[in-house]
Amino acid sequence: MNAQQHRMDAIANNLANVDTVGYKRDVAVHKAFPELLIRRMTDDGIVQFPYRNQPIGSVDTSPVVGKLGSGVEQNEVFTIFEQGAVQQTENPFDVALDGEGFFVVQTPYGERYTRNGSFVLGSEGMLLTQQGFPVLGDDGPIRLQLNNFVIDQGGKIFANSRFLNQDDRLVQAQENEWDQTVQIGRLRIVDVSESRYLQKQGQNLWGSTWESGDAFDVVDANRPRALQGFLEKANVNPVTEMVQMIEVNRAYEANQKVIQTQDQNTGRLLSEVLRV
């Protein structure tokens, strides 16, 4: 029953984050306790070897009539980092990653990693997450100008040089013809050796652990495509999760009925013993 509770927690968390951008679903993995052999104990099946020129000890010759499972326990909860569906938003501050890798954000606790590319422009011109954490590029925090930046699939950020260094000027989208573009930065993309051991930090952020290995910058040949104007949806199938939730409920109820029946039988046995 405890194992089913842990599985239910993972499923419920997946369903709660079905609309969270870049969320990766969790799976609870269980392992079985060792199975026990069932022997017919009415037979006198133990043979002793107390004599000379015979092996020392004994052997159990009672016939085996089957096996008895001793239950399961939760082994771990790990995350499946498969690619989620990509949805077009036409918002220039939305960026989806097509491939393996993570955005890097700066938090008060150090660098953290995310697949959530729903960014905003801060009051000081920095690219921020929805929680207000700066998004990092290869050279540190990224500074942008509204309606004066584009991001190519390599993660490079370009701006029209005619409007650079004009912080007091509001650039209109219709007036920007992109005739004098210059690169102003590049999104920093990292990965780890064992992503399944990344630790969830809350707010759709991840932190590296000793098991996952330190994060390393992804080189050009292996960089995922950066898709501006798109968002990666959660890789959660609500129908599948609901079916699994029903399975967990039925398994929990079945185990509960077994315990209740065993408790009732034990009570009846004690009543008969007390009568005698």
pLDDT of 241-265, one tens digit each?
A: 999 999 999 988 988 888 888 888 8
Over residues 234-246, mean pLDDT: 94
Query: CA-to-CA distance for 192 and 215, rounded, in angstroms?
Result: 5
CA atoms within 13 A on the CB side of 10: 20
Domain ranges of the chain: 2-38+65-79+241-275, 86-232
- What's residue 262's pLDDT? 83
Q: What's this model's pTM, rounded to 2 decimal places? A: 0.77
- What's residue 76's pLDDT? 81
Rounded percentage of the chain residues whose pLDDT exceeds 90 = 54
Hey, what are 31's tokens? 């392992």
Please tell me the least confidently modeled range out of 20-34, 51-65, 159-173, 229-243. Answer: 51-65
Of the pLDDT bands very low, low, confident and very high (cuts 50, 70, 90), residue 2 is confident
pLDDT of 13-45, one tens digit each?
A: 999 999 999 999 999 887 777 666 666 665 555
Hey, what are 153's tokens? 């699939």
Place of tokens 């000793």: 210
- What's residue 264's pLDDT? 87
228 CA to centre of own chain: 24
Whole-number mean pLDDT of the chain?
A: 85
pLDDT of 78-126, one tens digit each?
A: 899 999 999 999 999 999 999 999 999 999 999 999 999 999 999 888 9
Between these two residues, 59 and 100, which has the higher pLDDT value? Answer: 100
Residue closest to 158 by CA, chosen among 134, 136, 131, 185: 185
- What's residue 258's pLDDT? 85
pLDDT of 128-159, one tens digit each?
A: 999 999 999 999 999 988 888 999 999 999 98
